[in-house]
Structure 1
Amino acid sequence: MKHPVDVHVGKRIRHRRWMVGMTQQQLAERVGIKFQQIQKYETGMNRVSASRLWDISDALEVPVSFFFEGLVGETAAEEAGVPADLLSDKEALELVRSYYAIPENQRRRLFELARVLSDAA
């Protein structure tokens, strides 16, 4: 049975990898393992050792603590109407990546439009 912490860490690995536009193969090569192992980490099937998590954090250029962020607050997010695994959704991540590719002044206007539309819904 998968442990919830292992699943959360795996989701955070996948989230960061997608955000930087890296494939499982590329991450595996940087860490020195097979891409199948990255797949197992990302699904929570295999637990990530401390030393391997250190290597992954270095390859993805985030502190090790990044992988544990939001762990306690997942139930609070679900209660607020936001799925806890929102960042594991490929479409949501692509939307975030595209959003930050927009120049800041236009991004601010888009943000305000989204806020108005969500208030009207």
Structure 2
Amino acid sequence: METTDLGSGKRQTTDVDQVIGARLRSLRLQAGWSQQELAVKLNVSFQQVQKYERAMNRLSAATLSKAATIFDVPMEFFFDDVAAGAPSQGEAVDQTVDNRLEARLLTRYRRASPKLRASLLGLLQAAIPLQDDIEEN
């Protein structure tokens, strides 16, 4: 999707804006923050965060830089693989569902005691062996 002038001087957002918004949302969910909490950190309204995440408004370079700093990711994080194209609508929905589930899991994991964390990791390693697990042993 190219940027187009709508006659009123307003420009539509593009596929790139959708990718950036989805990545912002993903980072927020992984951090376990509400839109209001992120809005305070970015010094914008929670409605503005909603608009960024839904690609209804574009993030300025300054706001994007601030978000990268807040989440401790490089600016490139928001643009990785963008040249390959934005995800389709279905892929974006699947990704959002995955992000929500991952965020819920991560939030609970972080609240668990160290002993419970070790037990959960052991259970997952036994149920889903990965090559890295085999090489560590």
Of 28, 31, 35, the match for 2:39:
28
**Counterpart for residue 104 of structure 2:** 94
**Matched position secondary structure for 1:69:** coil
Match of 1:103 among 100, 117, 122: 117
Match of 2:48?
37
In the TM superposition, residue 91 of structure 1 has moved relative to its aligned partner by: 2.6
SS of residue paired to 1:103 = helix
Contact 1:74 1:84 (8 Å CA) reproduced: no
Q: 2:72 aligns with which of 36, 61, 71?
A: 61
Amino acid at match of 1:103: R
Give TM-score scaled by structure 1 length: 0.70
Larger radius of gyration: 2
What is the CA–CA distance in structure 2 between the aligned matches of 1:72 and 1:96, rounded to whole Å? Answer: 30
Q: How many residues align?
A: 111
Gaps of 5+ in 1: 116-121
Displacement after TM superposition at 1:55 (Å): 1.1
1:75-106 CA-to-partner distances (Å, cap 9, x unmatched) read 7x88xxxx455442223432455567663564
Contact 1:99-1:107 within 8 A present in 2 as well: no
What stretches of structure 2 of length at least 5 have no aligned partner? 1-11, 130-137
- CA 1:68–1:96 in structure 2 vs 1: closer, same or farther (change >3 Å)? farther
- C-alpha distance 97-74 of structure 1, shift in aligned 2 (>3 A): farther
Q: TM-score, normalised by structure 2?
A: 0.63
Pairwise CA RMSD of aligned residues? 3.1
Report the identity percentage. 31
Contact 2:36-2:45 at 8 Å conserved across structures: yes
Deviation for aligned residue 1:13:
0.3
Distance 1:93 1:43, change over 3 A: same
Residue correspondence of structure 1 range 1-20 to structure 2 within 5 A:
1-20=12-31
